[in-house]
Amino acid sequence: MGYRFDDLKAACQADWRAYIEHDFVRRVGAGTLAEDAFRHYLQQDYLFLLHFARAYALAAYKSRTLDELRQAHEGLKAILDVELGLHIDYCRTWGIDEDDLATLPEARATLAYTRYVLDAGSRGDLLDLHVALAPCLVGYGEVANWLESQEFTLRGEANPFEAWIAMYASPDFQAAMRAEIDWLDTRLADVSPSRFQELTTLFRDATRLEIDFWQMGLDRAF
């Protein structure tokens, strides 16, 4: 019997729930997050996305087939042309312009998470890299779905974070999340128990670094 993406989540259930249901996320849903905490998060997320674009470029380098190269190219385009573009527009509505973004100091949580993923991808193969990237892509899709299912979530214009939730609940983002899960399900089906343990460590570490990223926003930490 092969492994699936859900087995990775099941192996790190407590960390995964702590990530998806973090206080930062709850306050975004309820519309009660302090504005300066959200602004700090948005600024650091710009730096995060730049490094994640590099991770997709690394996925291209690690590719062995034309299909894998195309997949890496699509991932890179999705970050550069869609998510980063939306992010820059969205930052503007929060009073942060592109020049401010270009000169931001990098917080430790941003540094730790992004370099961890790039290192995991450099040392390992394409599957290691995808597993290290999965909490990012799959996690935010799940955060949006979880918020949409919660009674405390304030919908519509009354919630200052509505557009942020909508971005990750959008059909495009959800489709990208499902495609990533399908790809991981196919790859994980063939791995041995010891390889699955190695991948679980990567997945757990990346999930814990996502938790630190939310906390960095709440604490306005550098």
Ligand X SMILES: Cc1ncc(CN)c(N)n1
Residues marked as catalytic: 136, 210
Give least dist CB 168 to ligand X, A: 7
Other Cβ atoms closer than 10 A to 80? 15
Nearer to ligand X, 56 or 140 (CB): 140
Give least dist CB 6 to ligand X, A: 19
Nearer to ligand X, 3 or 8 (CB): 8
CA 141, 116, 201, 20 dihedral sign is negative
Give least dist CB 48 to ligand X, A: 5
CA distances to 93, 110, 211 from 104, rounded to whole Å, are 18, 12, 21
Nearer to ligand X, 53 or 127 (CB): 53
Distance CA 73, CA 187 (A): 19
Contact positions vs ligand X (CB under 6 A): 45, 48-49, 83, 136-137, 140, 210, 213
Give least dist CB 113 to ligand X, A: 7
What are the strands, taking DSSP E only, across 69-165? none
Nearer to ligand X, 3 or 9 (CB): 9
Question: What is the phi/psi pair of residue 163, to 5°?
Answer: -65, -35
Q: DSSP string spanning 126-189?
A: HHHHHHHHHHHHHHHHHHHHHHHH-TTPPPSTTSTTHHHHHHHHSHHHHHHHHHHHHHHHHHHT
